[in-house]
Amino acid sequence: MSSNITGVIVGRFQIHDLHPGHEFLLETALARHTRVLVLLGVRPGNPTRRNPLNFEVRRDMLLALYGKRILVAPIYDCLDDAAWDAQLDQRILEHVPDGEVMLYGSRDSFILGYQGKFQTQYIETPQPHYNATDFRNEIEKSTINNPDFRAGIIYAVANRFPSVYPTVDIAVVDPKKRRLLLGRKPQETRFRFPGGFVDPADADLETAARRELAEECGTIEVGPMHYIGSYKVDDWRYRRSDDGICTTLFACILENGTPTAGDDLAELQWRSLDNPEVHSILQGHHRLLEMLLHSRFIQQLPYTS
């Protein structure tokens, strides 16, 4: 193959050290070309289990192994495949202006669906087929007792984007007796609204509210969830942190059943809506109570006893 042609490899290399499949692909390209461009896939947002390493960490890993034999640059994930193909072609031309390249890929690589302007060639890597996901899964199960490992954890956490964690709180109201259900956690003396963190599996906030209610208050039947409001919580767990919690308060009417404390609640208590004993309610939930008591949901309740 002409020495003027640049070999191009696109991959994620989301692994602590290259596995034999990676090495074979890179060494094959380097044996065929005097210039090899490696484009590393970059996904926006915080690190995830599938994409734990940022571009700089992976670039430095590759350069430490291959030095000036390769050029490393980023390519960013796109929602649309055609847009990604166009970006790939643009990236190649930025680094190889004459456009004389050969794109390489192996099993499950981008070349199977690539519709850009450059030639591609499939490279069959030796058996067994290695999977970076399997390596990451093994790493998740272990810790290493050395300063570099601990420094790596600090680096990873420090380089995340600040996160706002969504939670839900639920005001369960018994309209006949004009009372409100509150719960108390073990080792706490004050009461709070039932609720908790939204789960990634929850279809929406209303689903999260119903799930949390079932977990903390047992088998009860309630009416529709009514949105009351939301605000950023001054949660003690995230003070002096870039992260935070934003909660959404829902209200619903108890239709049937007897609430029973579950999950992480030690007990449940009914409080009068007209005198909820604010002094015994968690400071961080005072605003929730105020939002509830001034809501149309409460104002439209009948005054019966």
Asked if pLDDT for residue 212 goes beyond 80, the answer is: yes
Could you tell me the maximum CA-CA distance found in the chain, to the nearest angstrom?
91
Asked if pLDDT for residue 128 goes beyond 80, the answer is: no
Residues 135, 180, single domain; the answer is: no
pTM: 0.75
pLDDT at 303: 65
Q: Distance between CA atoms of 220 and 121, rounded to whole angstroms?
A: 61
Q: Classify residue 181: in a domain, yes or no.
A: yes
Cα–Cα distance list, 52 to 31, 133, 259 (Å):
30, 11, 42
Residues 129, 64, single domain; the answer is: yes
Q: Classify residue 305: in a domain, yes or no.
A: no
CATH number of the domain bearing residue 110: 3.40.50.620
pLDDT at 23: 93
Residue type, 256: N
Domain final position from 143, 158, 173: 158
Residues 61, 115, single domain; the answer is: yes
* Average pLDDT of every residue of the chain: 91
Q: Which tokens in the block code for residue 232? A: 């950023």
Residues 33, 142, single domain; the answer is: yes
Residues 268, 221, single domain; the answer is: yes
Domain final position from 116, 131, 158: 158
Q: Distance between CA atoms of 292 and 66, rounded to whole angstroms?
A: 62
* 132-184 pLDDT tens trace: 888 788 888 888 888 988 898 888 888 888 899 999 999 999 999 999 999 99
Residue percentage of the chain with pLDDT more than 70? 98
Residues 20, 119, single domain; the answer is: yes
Asked if pLDDT for residue 54 goes beyond 60, the answer is: yes
Q: Classify residue 196: in a domain, yes or no.
A: yes
Residue percentage of the chain with pLDDT more than 90? 69
Residues 113, 170, single domain; the answer is: no
Please tell me the total count of domains within the chain.
2
User: With bands split at pLDDT 50, 70 and 90, how would you rate the model's confidence at 1?
Assistant: low
CATH number of the domain bearing residue 208: 3.90.79.10
Domain final position from 124, 158, 192: 158
Q: Classify residue 25: in a domain, yes or no.
A: yes
pLDDT at 144: 85
Q: Classify residue 144: in a domain, yes or no.
A: yes
* 13-34 pLDDT tens trace: 999 999 988 999 999 999 999 9
Closest by CA position to 210, among listed 148, 168, 241, 177: 168
Residues 168, 154, single domain; the answer is: no
User: With bands split at pLDDT 50, 70 and 90, how would you rate the model's confidence at 304?
Assistant: low
- Residue-by-residue DSSP string for 206-221: HHHHHHHHHHHH-S-E
Q: Classify residue 60: in a domain, yes or no.
A: yes
Please compute the mean of the pLDDT values over residues 5-17 and round it to a whole number: 93
Asked if pLDDT for residue 305 goes beyond 70, the answer is: no
Q: Classify residue 1: in a domain, yes or no.
A: no
* 249-258 pLDDT tens trace: 999 999 999 9
Residues 128, 181, single domain; the answer is: no
| Domain that residue 280 falls in | 164-299
Does residue 104 contact residue 8 with C-beta atoms inside 8 Å? yes
Residues 172, 277, single domain; the answer is: yes
How do beta strands 179-184 and 267-272 pair? antiparallel
Please compute the mean of the pLDDT values over residues 257-278 and round it to a whole number: 93
Residues 285, 203, single domain; the answer is: yes
